Amino acid sequence: MIKIIEHKFWNTKKVYSYGHLQITYGHCPKRILFKSKMVNDDNQHLCGGWIYFDDDNQEIWKRIRQGLKPFGHIVFWSEQRDFALGMFKEMKKQKSRFHLQWIEKGKRIEISIAVKGKMKDVFDLDSLVKDYASSGIFIEKEVKSIANKQLKRFFADWDNREWLTGLILGYPIENTISLMRGCVK
């Protein structure tokens, strides 16, 4: 459950799971121009920070298939290899819609999935830049540098810039802005 507390110049967002407060995003912008059905609060639950879904790996794949999440990174362990392989084969049936990657590192199996398309075609980058700028965070140069890149380009490099990580994993823009402002509790 999400509870929004409105203030004069910003909002506070409180996220609950099973009745327990999981996280508070303070100083969230009151208005976000950026719109995408692939960027939403349910995706934030798939960051591994708390339990909301019964099986995060299945939920990540389901949400990507449904167009509710742009990118996912799923981790299995070697004892889950058969299950992971079955899931990957199922994903490959829809390879016309998605880019896929399978990597085995020792006992760890990683599957990455991304919708097909360049960043500028998948996301409204102009409104994204405006939303961050209105919060005092200037990302225009970085956004321009990735605009023509395919989303799959980030399979190996998706967790190094907060705004980009939030965007490609489908996290709400206001949550990432709150994080970058140091207002998450």
Q: Quick one: DSSP state of residue 139?
A: -
Strands 71-77 and 98-105: unpaired
Could you tell me the CA-to-CA distances from 62 to 17, 67, 95, 143, 146 in Å, in that order?
A: 20, 9, 15, 28, 26
Distance CA(177)–CA(137), nearest Å, equals 8
For residue 33, how far is the Cα from the chain centroid? 18
Residue in this structure with the two tokens 């970085």, named with its chain if needed: 142
Least Cα distance to 44 among 31, 34, 59, 30 occurs for 59
Q: Tokens for 76, please give them.
A: 């299995």
Backbone angles phi, psi at 37, to 5 degrees: -70, -15
Q: What is the pLDDT along the chain (185 residues), one digit of tens a residue?
A: 889 999 999 999 998 888 889 899 999 999 999 999 999 988 887 775 555 556 778 888 899 999 999 999 888 999 999 999 999 998 999 888 999 999 999 999 999 999 999 999 999 999 999 999 999 999 999 999 999 999 999 998 877 889 999 999 999 999 999 999 999 99
Evaluate if pTM is beyond 0.75: yes
